[in-house]
Amino acid sequence: MRMTWIIILIFPLIYSQYIEGQRACYLIDNIINNKKERIPLIYNNGWNQELIISTPKGNRPEPQMIMNKQYIEQHLRAFHDGASLIIVTAILDNFGRDYVGTKNGLFVVPQYQMDILLKAANGSLQIIEKNLGVPQGRWLFKRLSRIDIPNPQKFNLRIPSGNEAGINNLWKPGGLLPNGMLEAIIDMIFWSQKIW
């Protein structure tokens, strides 16, 4: 009997969070995607999204070899006012704070999009994970830190190729996260470097 009541009480909370999550994702999607007209992504040399995804990780081509230059330039311009990332704070605590990232780099989103996401998510980790392409529950019960990089161009800003260590099955070519947010890669940051 007690278990039944717990399920009855918890289900509306989960359903409510699901509905709010859908609304927030829709809001984020509309704000981000209607910001300006996007140049279409055109693949060169016979490549397409399905072929890139089916190519084994480590053998995928670099974006500048198979994507139109105008698309890449517009994509990277979205980061000119800064980039942001979220990292599990324990990584900083356990491995030190002399640097952030690995030799494969760091995934970042435009700072303005991170602002929109965190405001719309209103503390919902599920919404943050979904929009950033993080497998659901990966960050559950973990303390997170946000890092802003005012000048990401100084750190070899580029579109992910799909060969990076952090790539999972949610990754799509073209620097787009599952819900339409933009993503890019920058090199590892050493705190001795000036990031502004």
Does 8 have pLDDT greater than 80? Answer: no
Strands 106-110 and 83-88: antiparallel
Share of the chain above pLDDT 90, in %: 62
Mean pLDDT of 34-49: 85
Tens of pLDDT, residue by residue over 96-148, are: 777 787 778 899 999 999 999 999 999 899 999 999 999 999 999 999 999 99
Largest CA distance in the chain: 64
pLDDT tens per residue across span 161-193: 999 988 888 899 999 998 889 999 999 888 766
